[in-house]
Amino acid sequence: MEELTLYLLENMYLDFQGDISLETVRNFLREDDSPEARRLLTKIIEENGVDEMLLTLADCLKDSISTGIRTEVIHEALNMYSDS
């Protein structure tokens, strides 16, 4: 069971459901004037949409599946994406 559990954990992947578009992100960040929000929005516009952000975010969060995905972890992953 141990090997199967580790295999499943290592090969698990994340996906996002729902309508997540550039417009959706803009709506969420509309009243957020923080440098982080502006940097994220700029990066998404440069990448021509949210697809790359979602892929990068899922890859970053995969490492946290075993320890737990919390809001802080997602926030940090979004900042890493914005800075890349």
DSSP state of 18: S
Work out whether the CA dihedral 78, 19, 50, 33 comes out positive or negative. Answer: negative
In a domain? residue 53: yes
User: 10-35 burial, b if ≥16 CB within 10 A, otherwise e?
Assistant: eeeeeeeeeeeebeebeeebeeeeee
pTM here is 0.77
In a domain? residue 57: yes
In a domain? residue 19: no
Domains: count for the chain: 1
Q: pLDDT of 5-56, one tens digit each?
A: 888 878 887 888 878 899 999 999 999 999 999 999 999 999 999 999 999 9
pLDDT of 65 above 90: no
Residue in the structure block whose two tokens are 């004037």: 33
In a domain? residue 6: no
In a domain? residue 72: yes
pLDDT of residue 34: 94
Domain carrying residue 58: 34-84
In a domain? residue 1: no
In a domain? residue 23: no
